[in-house]
Amino acid sequence: MRSDRDWNRPSTGARIAAFAGLAFLHLPVWVILLYAFTTEDRTYQFPPPGLTLHWFAVAFAREDIWAALRLSLAVATVATAMALVLGTLAAFALARSRFRGREAVTLLFVLPIALPGIITGIALLSAFKLGGIQPGFWTIVTGHATFCIVIVYNNVIARLRRLPQSWIEASMDLGADGAQTFRYVLLPQIATALLAGGMLAFALSFDEIIVTLFTAGHERTLPIWFFNELFRPRERPITNVVAVTVVLVTLVPILLAYRLTRPGTTEPNL
C-alpha cells in the first residue's frame, strides 16, 4: 500500500465518470457537426458514406434561412438593447433603496426566468389578443425582453452590491450630480457586467423557441425554422449546417461573457 497518496487527486473512477458526463453533454454536438458534411441526405448512417461541403452552398442559397437568421438577429439585438436599459434601471432602483415590499418586487422581477416558457408564452399571447395587438416582430421582442431583462438585472445588481456606498458619496461630495456620478464612477464599474449580461441575453434570445412560438404570429425566427424543418426531412444536412452556424454564433458571446465575469478579471487594480 502506498501511504503517501495525494488526497487532492481524484480517483480513477471519478475521472472516468467526469469524462463520461462531458462526453454525454458534448458528443451530440459533434454528431451534428459531422453530419453537416455527409453526402447522405436522408438517414444518419454511420460512418457517413462521404464528406462534402455541398450543403453549405445549398444552405447559403436558401432565402428562407437568411430571412429567419436576419429576424432572429434583429429580435435578439432589440430585446438585448431593451433589457440593457430596463434591467440597469431596475437594478439601480432595487440595489440601494429600501422600501416596503422591496423583496416582493425583486421576486416578481426575477420570476419570468423561473416561470416555464410555456406559461409566459400563453400569458403574453392572451394579453396581446386582449389588447388587440397583431403578433409580429414587436411581440417577439417583448416576449424575449421578459427574460433578457432578468439576465441584465442580475448581472448589474450583483456588481452594484459590491460597490462601496462611499464611492457614490465621494463623487457627490466632490461636486458631481447624479448624472455625472453615473457616467464617471458607476458606469465604468458596471461596464463589464453590462457587457456580460448583454451577451448572455443576446444568446438566450437568439435560440429561444417556446415563448417565440406563442408570440411570433406568422414570423419565422431561426429556431422556428428549425422546428418546421423537423417535419420535412428533406435535405437533412442543411439543418445541421445551420445548427453548426448557430452554435458558432452563440458560442462567441457566451465565451466572451464568461471571460469578462471571471473572478480576477472584473476588477483590475482594485
Q: What share of the chain is helix, strand, coil (3-state, %, to 5)?
A: 75, 0, 25
CB 47 within 8 A of CB 106: no
Q: Select 159 or 236, whichever has its Cβ closest to other proteins.
A: 159
The verdict on 101 binding other proteins (CB under 8 A) reads no
Q: Does 161 bind other proteins (CB under 8 A)?
A: no
Q: Under DSSP, is residue 221 helix (H, G, I), strand (E, B) or coil? A: coil
Of 2 and 98, the one with the shorter C-beta distance to other proteins is: 98
Please report how close the Cβ of residue 263 comes to other proteins at its closest, in angstroms.
Answer: 15
Q: Is 164 in the site for other proteins (CB under 8 A)?
A: yes
**Closest approach of other proteins to the CB of residue 236, in Å:** 51
Contact (Cβ atoms closer than 8 angstroms) between residue 222 and residue 72 = yes
Specify the residue, 19 or 184, whose C-beta has the smaller distance to other proteins. 184
End-to-end CA distance of the chain: 49
How many residues would you count in the chain?
A: 270
38 binds other proteins (CB under 8 A): no
What sections of 62-218 are H helices per DSSP? 63-96, 102-114, 117-130, 137-162, 165-173, 178-181, 187-206, 210-215
User: What is the C-alpha separation between 224 and 207, in angstroms, rounded?
Assistant: 9
Does residue 267 interact with other proteins by CB under 8 A? yes
Interface with other proteins, residue 132, by CB under 8 A: no
The answer to whether 265 contacts other proteins (rule: CB under 8 A) is no
The closest alpha carbon to 67, from 216, 268, 266, belongs to 216
When binding is defined by CB under 8 A, the residue of 169, 252, 255, 265 that contacts other proteins is 169
The residues near 114 (Cβ < 8 Å, ≥ 6 apart) are: none
Report in angstroms how near the CB of residue 174 gets to other proteins at its nearest.
4
- Rank residues 47 and 164 by Cβ distance to other proteins and give the closer one: 164
For residues 43 and 180, which CB has a smaller minimum distance to other proteins in the complex?
180
Among 11, 12, 97, 166, binds other proteins (CB under 8 A): 166
Region binding other proteins by CB under 8 A among candidate stretches 41-49, 61-69, 124-132, 184-192? 184-192
Q: Count CB-CB contacts under 10 A for residue 6.
A: 6
Binding site for other proteins (CB under 8 A): 164, 166-167, 169-177, 180, 184-185, 188-189, 267-270
